[in-house]
Amino acid sequence: MGIRKLGYVGLDVTDVDAWADLLGRTLGVGVTTEEAGGEKAALAELDEFKYRLALHPAAEDRPKQVGWIVDSPRELDRLTGRLADAGYAVAEGSATEAGLRGATQFRWFTDPVGYRVELVLGETKVRTHAARPAGAGRGVIGLGHLVLASPKLAELRELYESVLEFRLTDYRAPGLYFFRCNSTHHSIALAHAESASIHHLELEHGCLDDVGRAYDRAQHNGVPISISLGRHMNDKAVSFYVKNPSGFHLEIGWGGIEVGDDWIPHDFGVSDVWGHHHADANPFASPAS
């Protein structure tokens, strides 16, 4: 497969300071600011690499880009050809943009919803490890996955499954599908919704105790816990969710399973083994077609 993993997500946000406060006080994640080509971005230090989550000051909260790491220049060219054959216009990213991402080269296109999707070569390590508060354990170790909700579910499935060659891991009929690009259970999930949005981003943690510590800090700091602690049925991850300053969820998780080439996609039926009680109505309780 040409795409190796989820590289980064960029967000337009109206309140960078509120994001930095959530990331810092509750999750122990530092935020640095960088400017390139007249564009400023706050970069969250999720791991040793330069860029996993970027926050761009803006007048509206919305996704800005999703970046996928590609294996090689040959695979980048092959995927570019597949996208062109499917009717997508693929553009070359500038050297300035590549530098901000810590990439050597990237290309981008617009998905059926209108989000910018980037295919990236190279990752730059800028630190030996991400600093964490004393006694907090490893805490956040990286960006796990994202869930996109959209009225154009069929078109997004065609893009990710047929054009970009993601594999279907499992699903809940008729409107929620989980896809992988490596051995991780899923790097992206696609769901039906009346309007397009990121339902959540998952921040991967180093151990169960780190998830628990983050849960305690979220309660202590008055962070809105939108979905309580629980274990998912399909990937077995233990997690909870908080409402972030842009209005969607951050999943704080650990323990998702890996799957092999012999995995058979199936309907996993019940959403959770235990927990994950929603503060508000669960849009995926009975997924719509």
pLDDT for residue 285: 74
pLDDT for residue 249: 97
> Over the stretch 129-146, which tens digit does the pLDDT of each residue have?
777 766 666 789 999 999
Q: Which two tokens stand for residue 248?
A: 């969607």
Q: Which two tokens stand for residue 262?
A: 């012999």
pLDDT for residue 289: 39
Q: In what order do the strands lie in the sheet with 91-92?
A: 31-36, 39-44, 53-57, 3-13, 62-70, 116-121, 105-110, 91-92
pLDDT for residue 288: 46
pLDDT for residue 134: 66
| Architecture of the domain made up of 140-275 | Roll (3.10)
- Residues 49 and 286: their CA atoms lie apart, in Å, by 38
- Residues 232 and 239: their CA atoms lie apart, in Å, by 8
Residue numbers of the chain with a pLDDT score lower than 70: 1, 133-137, 286-289
Instruction: Give the residue among 90, 104, 258, 94 at the shortest CA–CA distance from 159.
Output: 90
Per-domain boundaries in the chain = 140-275
Q: Which amino acid is at 256?
A: G
